Structure 1
């Protein structure tokens, strides 16, 4: 960021922080911050003697003890390290140089590559490596970055306005001589550079795919943008992280508490150069999903829709105005492709490496920065966000014959039987594909709407049949359509003494209501507990002898059943299921214990009580219906997909979701 000798170091547009804040009607606050920076951060390292003394021993003992660069390129969790403006560490023309903070951050990055908690796969520097662009300064920067080079670390750099003047047509400079493309000739992650050498492209491997990083000059020409566009188009299946020194800016200042009236998720604004970059490169390239820049402070972020209607997350991170010029602080972007989240944290490895008892109070405050713009999480559905250039493979439907595992007693699925959106009518039959004769027949509660039960193309992505039934039911008054086995279906008398597996797929809509839809059963067995002679603790004599339901408390799946060996029920409880997401539910009994699984994972509330078989009164099974005291009291609300009943316990590798 421009703080010293602005007139000499600013780009051709004369764009610096003081000018930006003046335009934003915050010139007074900006001037105050620049003043603080000039007074406290431009000093020689002697001005921070306490911190330097505290780390002298650490630097001496750690210099030869750096781990290896070994990121896990297949793990679905990985980290991108980002280092903003380190200029105050390198002011050679003023004999003010201190490599140790940056080298400590580099050690941290190397040592945390491949670790389960971090798995750092790449480091991106955001420019302003030096304060003065002096060859002496770049000579020291060269020594610091040699630590990354000697360990084969993957990284990118770019020029900021304190490293160069003018745009990327400027020709040779100390920056280019030190940090130009020749530096990366042995780097596996280096992809290419434009003819100027100031714009570079890098590729890192993570989560089993390739990710493209563009490191663009602080002032990129049309030729530079055209080159970058060509690189993106030459790698059409790579997500792109774009880095440059000046993209978005901070419209507020941190000499007052900045979050009182703002949104920490949208508190940055597009800078003039950023708008140019958006218009010429980002907007039309949907692969660009994240941009990172320094230059301004305080940190901030914004999200903007591109031409494809997708979010581009645009972040500014810069701590040069903090203690010791930021001390080579790093921002860690922890990607988690399982949780569809990026967790962001900001740390200072140089301070963290110091003996905690020897840290000054000021240093301790800056070991970790935890404000809402420094430590946060971003929800990104990576498959959905990247689907325009990395289509999500659709698992094809599988024939029913492939799912008829040994012991299958019933298998109901709903593909190829009716057009999506058309209604099923009372008396209509859904065949049991197991061939065991447990066909289902539609029953409609009098007074229900004509579309109370319809065919649907919605389905779980791992479901064998690519269709489902959409139930529109409820209580108060009871309404909807459900399905039932016939009076003489073999399944009615089955008691499952040797164990069983029940599987189904389910999705609840947004209008699911606890009062109207809670406790509706996906699958149940007719016949009340009282009629079966059941009694004792937790017994409700009017409830059915078997029911797989969705509770009214957070949409939790519940399997409540009366075993043969007890007079009272055993109940398995799952966690809350969100709406508009397909879930696979499985209930497995091995002849002794019953376990409920959600998406292949056992739930926490699986009782250790012995539960043998299932009580039967010889009455039908219901799909989507539930009775109480012998009468239908509620019909399911939501979609139900493939449903299978097997007379033995199945391992997860034999579930309907198995690959």
Structure 2
């Protein structure tokens, strides 16, 4: 199909050579490297690539938050009567096989116009190419474009070479195939990625009213599943590819299906060029991303270029890249002038990122269950010597925490009592219902400390608490939940401590470093970041672990773990970079109380915490990440 504006997608790109050639081997794998093609040969006479099967095993990781959906647009000029060359398509399909593991490729969608005239010989050729995926049981979908069938018909058209080649009989052999309309022209496919199911709805060139009803029913039977809709025609773009618009048929699909089904968050179509995209609000008020992908107007019919939609749920982003594995596979050889411009598309409509807060976007049909509070008994794993939490329903949110005594839920009598700097307001320590989403107790204390002048309140263990004298020779794990407010300021709030030990290095007999520093403190630096500075039993002074800088106004979980030999800090279950290799055994003690929310220097209060503290637990053994308080299920006792 011609562009609605009947013009190509601008001038060919300049040589993308130096950067692309350096990464060609990494992108294409062994299969592409063995092509043996030379640019001096006329394009139509280029021999096919090595048809040897890919060696990489296709087994996507269903739990990895990063996965790739591959999209192949119109390939019609490669399958045009007597002009048939399946090598470019095979190169793209080998890319899927070669990089299935490192890219975590979960699925491939062809957007229609597989062939130019819908002839049997054309479909036989492209059908043979797709056997590369069939043999490895790689999930994929295809849709009919207007060149694959008689364009004036809808999906009730009956038998065609397209249906004979890519109908349900073939598709049902694939593990991702979900079902089809009775006519066979509309299909749906389900794959698992990032710990959940995703659905690809592949619609015909002109789905009938009955088929649209079928599509609605498919979505209704998968009520919690995000849907990617693929079809040949939906949106088109202007000459620059900016702000795509609906075609008349696309408007029909939007009104009859897309707008009213919140699960459809992304649509992909070919047919028109240039490439373009837009975003529309559905009836639920959520964004639907509508993308057009088609390069048939470019050199060698687009050379079976593919789009890589790299979903990254950890970063809430889809990174999109457009490459030609067929040309890229020969990037180390002498390419002709046109090929050099087609290796990789780098325009703003070809290489871009789509920011999506997946949890928020899918909340209307698949909300993430709110994790309820967990009984304290569930957190008392073997070795727990202190556990404090601040979820007190008897105290209203924001009320002053005065005359406070916090029990040690471990039963070891390490209770906490409130102390305050003289002159501090009664509400310098306040109850709060705010908490980390994975925190066992659904409550916290807000510490409103600062200096100068020094103001605020804090908690401490009593003088006779057993925790005061523990040395943790066999190791320890200290965990805490914290949140810094938006107004946290380094000049007023830096070095407020989450918790630490009263007593100086000098008093504990340590001869290295500043003798006035405390024997142990988990403090918030001026970054703000976390610093664990503690004196082990076997060192002459303190050894320090550092976190990265922490964003304000979000909850964090920190764990400091000592295995009897080394100390490691974790933030949100992830190892931080600045963990020293110094041998560290146990913790020095002056036999004095522990402090929560306060930092001492020279044996005197020097700074108080400004922010929220949630549950805090101390265990006298090293824990694994799966045993932290953020663990999805309680560890076995």
Q: What TM-score does the superposition give when structure 1 sets the normalisation length? A: 0.82
Change (3 A) 1:467 1:200: same
Q: Quick one: distance in 2 between partners of 1:35 and 1:221?
A: 39
2:430 maps to which of 432, 437, 454: 454
Aligned-pair distance for 1:272?
4.2
Conserved 8 A contact 2:235-2:292: yes
2:305 aligns with: 329
Q: Does 1:204 align with 2:191?
A: yes
Aligned-pair distance for 1:326?
1.0
Cα distance per residue 1:15-54 (max 9 Å; x no partner)? x622xxxxxxxxxxx5465999xxxxxxxxx99944455x
Q: Does 1:168 align with 2:136?
A: no
Conserved 8 A contact 1:522-1:636: yes
Which deviates further from its counterpart, 443-452 or 580-589? Answer: 443-452
1:156 aligns with: 141
Conserved 8 A contact 1:192-1:202: yes
Change (3 A) 1:468 1:51: farther
Change (3 A) 1:142 1:614: closer
Change (3 A) 1:217 1:419: farther
1:84 aligns with: 73
Aligned-pair distance for 1:430?
1.1
1:389 aligns with: 365
Cα distance per residue 1:153-211 (max 9 Å; x no partner)? 32111122333423525624554454444443433433222344432222223345432
Change (3 A) 1:101 1:620: same
Cα distance per residue 1:66-85 (max 9 Å; x no partner)? 45773235341432110011
Aligned-pair distance for 1:357?
1.4
Aligned-pair distance for 1:356?
2.1
Conserved 8 A contact 2:401-2:431: no
How many residues align? The count is 604
Aligned-pair distance for 1:101?
1.0
Conserved 8 A contact 1:167-1:221: no
Q: Quick one: distance in 2 between partners of 1:193 and 1:407?
A: 57
1:312 partner SS: strand
Q: Quick one: distance in 2 between partners of 1:311 and 1:403?
A: 41
1:257 aligns with: none
Cα distance per residue 1:374-398 (max 9 Å; x no partner)? 3334444444433433343444533
Change (3 A) 1:361 1:507: farther
2:518 maps to which of 526, 537, 544: 544
Q: Quick one: distance in 1 between partners of 2:11 and 2:474?
A: 80
Q: Does 1:126 align with 2:111?
A: yes
1:641 aligns with: 614
Which deviates further from its counterpart, 612-621 or 325-334? Answer: 612-621
Conserved 8 A contact 1:296-1:316: yes
Which deviates further from its counterpart, 152-161 or 646-655? Answer: 646-655
Conserved 8 A contact 1:247-1:277: yes
2:228 aligns with: 241
Conserved 8 A contact 2:389-2:441: yes
2:59 partner SS: coil
Q: Quick one: distance in 1 between partners of 2:76 and 2:115?
A: 4
Conserved 8 A contact 1:253-1:297: no
Q: Quick one: distance in 2 between partners of 1:139 and 1:405?
A: 64
Cα distance per residue 1:587-612 (max 9 Å; x no partner)? 22334432222233332222222334
2:545 partner SS: strand
2:548 partner SS: coil
Cα distance per residue 1:394-413 (max 9 Å; x no partner)? 44533323333344332101
Cα distance per residue 1:391-447 (max 9 Å; x no partner)? 434445333233333443321012245445142433211111122222112334455
Q: Does 1:515 align with 2:491?
A: yes
Unaligned runs of 5+ residues in structure 2 are 13-37
Aligned residue runs from structure 1 range 580-659, under 5 A: 580-658=553-631, 659=633
Cα distance per residue 1:360-380 (max 9 Å; x no partner)? 243233223334433334444
Change (3 A) 1:166 1:509: farther
Which deviates further from its counterpart, 591-600 or 635-644? Answer: 591-600
Conserved 8 A contact 1:524-1:548: yes
Conserved 8 A contact 1:337-1:382: yes
Q: Quick one: distance in 2 between partners of 1:310 and 1:473?
A: 41
Conserved 8 A contact 2:236-2:272: yes
Conserved 8 A contact 1:168-1:224: no
Q: Quick one: distance in 1 between partners of 2:206 and 2:426?
A: 64
2:176 aligns with: 189
Q: What TM-score does the superposition give when structure 2 sets the normalisation length? A: 0.85
Aligned-pair distance for 1:123?
1.1
Aligned-pair distance for 1:279?
2.6
Aligned residue runs from structure 1 range 545-564, under 5 A: 545-553=519-527, 555-564=528-537
2:340 partner SS: helix
Q: Quick one: distance in 1 between partners of 2:402 and 2:172?
A: 73
Unaligned runs of 5+ residues in structure 1 are 4-15, 19-29, 37-45, 255-261
Change (3 A) 1:519 1:309: farther
Q: Quick one: distance in 1 between partners of 2:452 and 2:285?
A: 42
1:366 aligns with: 342
Conserved 8 A contact 1:69-1:152: no
Conserved 8 A contact 1:168-1:196: no
1:428 aligns with: 404
Q: Quick one: distance in 1 between partners of 2:581 and 2:378?
A: 33
1:470 aligns with: 446
